[in-house]
Amino acid sequence: MEQVILGKAFVLGDNIDTDQIIPAEYLSYNPADESERRYFGRYAFSGVPPAQSGLPEGNIPFVTGDGYKSEYVVVVAGKNFGCGSSREHAPLALATAGVRAVVAESYARIFYRNSVNGGYLVPFETPQRLVEKFATGDGVEINPASAILKNLRTGDQFDLSPLGDVADIIDAGGVFGYARQQGMLK
């Protein structure tokens, strides 16, 4: 895992579901085909209603124009992030767009497990409501080892919940990489 995750934050509210993260209409692309996989990045968060995007500013695009990558590397969200269907494409879409971590008050279990099992991104939990303490575009720094999130605009720092055992799975690139490291798979 990276020693420090540094970049811009994209701020969302509560109950961001998997169809908002990657709408079903874009699931026809094949993630195993590199030329098609990039479209998951292009359409990441394209289903988020404008009122939710970039609290409180609203209507801030996650990926601009015809791009495939976002300028945002950390998502700061509220409660129940990744709810809805058990869409494995949701964390893949965020990772393909360039997201390296999501910080949320709580996750839908399936999104959290898909993020970890695929080694797509680091799902940090926070014991406090941070969506009002960050604005979309704020510079952020996350130190995974110390579980500290800093808002570089305000200088404030916040404790995150430790990753625990999932850190080893993320470090290995997902559950299959971890199983190979542990001698469970050849």
The CATH number linked to 98 is 3.20.19.10
53 compared with 14, residue with greater pLDDT: 14
Mean pLDDT of the chain: 91
Q: Does residue 123 sit within a domain?
A: yes
| pLDDT surpassing 70 at residue 56 | no
What's the pLDDT at 50?
61
Is 87 part of a structural domain of the chain?
yes
| Domain count of the fold of the chain | 1
Q: What is the pLDDT of residue 171?
A: 92
Prediction pTM value? 0.92
Provide, rounded to the nearest whole percent, the portion of the chain with pLDDT above 90: 78
Question: Quick check: 58 pLDDT over 80?
Answer: no
Non-local (6+) Cβ contacts of 180 within 8 A are: 172, 186
| pLDDT tens profile 113-150 | 999 999 999 999 999 999 999 999 999 999 999 999 99
Identify the residue with better confidence: 142 or 37: 142
- Indicate whether 186 belongs to any domain: no
pLDDT at 51: 56
pLDDT value for 186: 76
Q: Distance between terminal CA atoms of the chain?
A: 23
pLDDT in tens, 77-96: 999 999 988 778 999 999 99
For residues 117-147, b (16+ Cβ closer than 10 Å) or e, as one string?
bbbbbbbbbbeeebbebbbbebebebbbeeb
Query: What pLDDT, on a 0 to 100 scale, did the predictor assign at position 53?
Result: 53
Question: What is the tens place of the pLDDT at every residue in 147-179?
Answer: 999 999 999 999 999 999 999 999 999 999 899
The answer as to whether 90 is a domain residue is yes
Residue 72 lies in a domain: yes
CA distance 145 to 119: 17
Q: Are 77 and 63 in contact (CB under 8 A)?
A: no
- Its domain, for residue 11, covers 5-181
Residue 158 in contact with residue 129, Cβ under 8 Å? no
